[in-house]
Amino acid sequence: MYKIVEAKKLNDIIYKMVVEAPRVAKKCMPGQFLIVRTAENSERIPLTICDYDREAGTITIVFQPIGASTKEMTSLKTGDSFHDVVGPLGCPSELTELSAEELKAKKILFVAGGVGTAPVYPQVKWLHENGVDADVIVGAKTKDLVILEKEMEAVAGNLYVTTDDGSYGRAGMVTKTIEDLVAEGKQYDVCVAIGPMIMMKFVALLTKKLEIPTIVSMNPVMVDGTGMCGACRIVVGDEIKFACVDGPEFDGHLVDFDGAMKRAAAYKTEEGRKMLELEEGDTHHGGCGNCN
């Protein structure tokens, strides 16, 4: 059992939990995720690791309930426990593989949309701890839905908060802020965008036009976290990839977002899942990532 040492609501729709998971906390890196189960027979839920404390042996998860299992998670309180916490899974952010000299030579922009702020935070924090301060854009629909602002402000070089309705910070979509920053003379060597698929699509379209290499995280399409369900099958360039075993991060300029969003909609129904399995044949499952 994995004890929840803190459980709180960040706003009306987003929850935060700090969980005792010492082995995960010891090994995890920014960009990776874990799988939780609330009970022995519960659904497996993949969630990106928002933060970790190696000394305390805890990991932090932030989630928005969108189905029965995540809705069930909202009933858990401080002192309760998860039945399972499995991880770390997935590949760490490719930025963590660069040397300190390479990192310090890069001008990095992060773009976070909604609950996507949670997986952006550990990457920005890790860079800050290694002497690199990145620019960060945090976008939300309204002021009430902005999360982790103080935490992000403490580790970002420059933080730009934007709301779709103009109720807080800059007004408009995150893409407008990117355009404004570039117009003001900002130059970036790499952009990391994490958030809703539609947001990542339009960020990638803009950064391609601006010739800024862009990384996106395809964690929104993950279901079982192992590749066996076939949910997170995506096309990247001319290759078939699985977000959970090959990612979750990919070249945003190569991801087929339209295909991924259409496929995700089909996957929501039993009939749609059967049709996808029939159409995709041997490429429907990713397995362990090595069995193809």
Q: What is the pLDDT of residue 111?
A: 97
Task: Determine the 3-state secondary structure of 279 from DSSP.
Answer: helix
User: Rounded distance, CA 29 to CA 16, Å?
Assistant: 19
Separation of CA 25 from chain center = 18
pLDDT for the residue 292: 45
Whole-number average pLDDT of the chain = 90
The segment(s) of the chain belonging to CATH 3.40.50.80 are: 94-217
How far is the C-alpha of 280 from the C-alpha of 8, rounded, in Å? 41
pLDDT in tens, 99-120: 888 998 999 999 999 999 999 9
Indicate where the chain has its CATH 2.40.30.10 domain(s): 2-89
The DSSP string of 150-197 is HHHHHH-SEEEEEETTSSSBEES-HHHHHHHHHHTT---SEEEEES-H
- Alpha-carbon dihedral angle through residues 18, 90, 220, 65, given to the nearest 10 degrees: -20
pTM of the model: 0.89
| Partners of 138 in the β-ladder | 112, 161
pLDDT in tens, 115-173: 999 999 999 999 999 999 999 999 999 999 999 999 999 999 999 999 999 999 999 99
Question: Average of pLDDT values for 271-282?
Answer: 73
CA angle 201/74/222 to nearest 5° reads 35
The domain defined by 94-217 folds into Rossmann fold (3.40.50)
**What confidence score (pLDDT) does residue 289 get?**
45
Query: Looking at the predicted structure, is the pLDDT value of residue 256 above 60?
Result: yes
CA angle 3, 8, 9 (to 5 degrees): 145
Give the distance, in angstroms, between the CA of residue 170 and the centroid of all CA atoms in the same chain: 23
284, pLDDT greater than 80: no
Q: Pick 284 or 291 by higher pLDDT.
A: 284
Q: Which long-range contacts (CB under 8 A, 24 or more apart) does 183-190 make?
A: 186/107, 186/109, 186/135, 187/107, 188/107, 188/108, 188/109, 188/135, 188/212, 189/105, 189/106, 189/107, 189/108, 189/213, 190/95, 190/106, 190/107, 190/108, 190/109, 190/214, 190/215
Work out the pLDDT band at 268, boundaries 50, 70, 90: low
pLDDT score of 214: 97
pLDDT of 264 reads 75
Answer yes or no: CATH 2.40.30.10 is held by domain 2-89.
Answer: yes
Q: What whole-number distance in Å separates Cα of residue 281 and Cα of residue 259? A: 17
